[in-house]
Amino acid sequence: MNSGFGNNFVVLTDEDGNEIELEHLDTLEENGETYFAFIEAQTNLDDEGELIVLKSSRDEKGEEVLITVDEDEEYDRVFDLFSERLENYCFEDEEDNTEEE
């Protein structure tokens, strides 16, 4: 998975075996942890889609897996960081479009 912004789609399987297609929006490192921001694949940034925050972890085989962030304080902190980064990215994109006109 690439870091930064872009159209990267992944299919993840939840603990119940359900598959969900997500669009990877951003990755960040915070306090020694790697976090990923996603939205459901059929959502765009103009919609009121829910930002999904997952954290990188290792399973018992040592393979990377993405897990939910269970601690409210950690989730809120990382969610706020992603929200700010995405707002800045969208704002910069709007400025670029205005300058081209």
Q: Kindly report, residue by residue over 28-40, the tens digit of the pLDDT.
A: 999 999 999 998 8
The span from the CA of 4 to the CA of 65, in Å, is 19
The residue type of 101 is: E
- The whole-number pLDDT of residue 4 equals 45
- The whole-number pLDDT of residue 7 equals 62
At which residue do the structure tokens 């694949």 appear?
Answer: 41
| E strand residue ranges, 1-101 | 8-13, 19-30, 33-40, 52-58, 64-68
Q: Which residue has the higher pLDDT, 45 or 36?
A: 36
**DSSP bridge partners of 37:** 26, 53
Inform me whether the pLDDT recorded for 101 exceeds 60.
Answer: no
C-alpha dihedral sign at 92, 47, 30, 9: negative
pLDDT tens per residue across span 71-96: 999 999 999 999 999 887 765 555 55
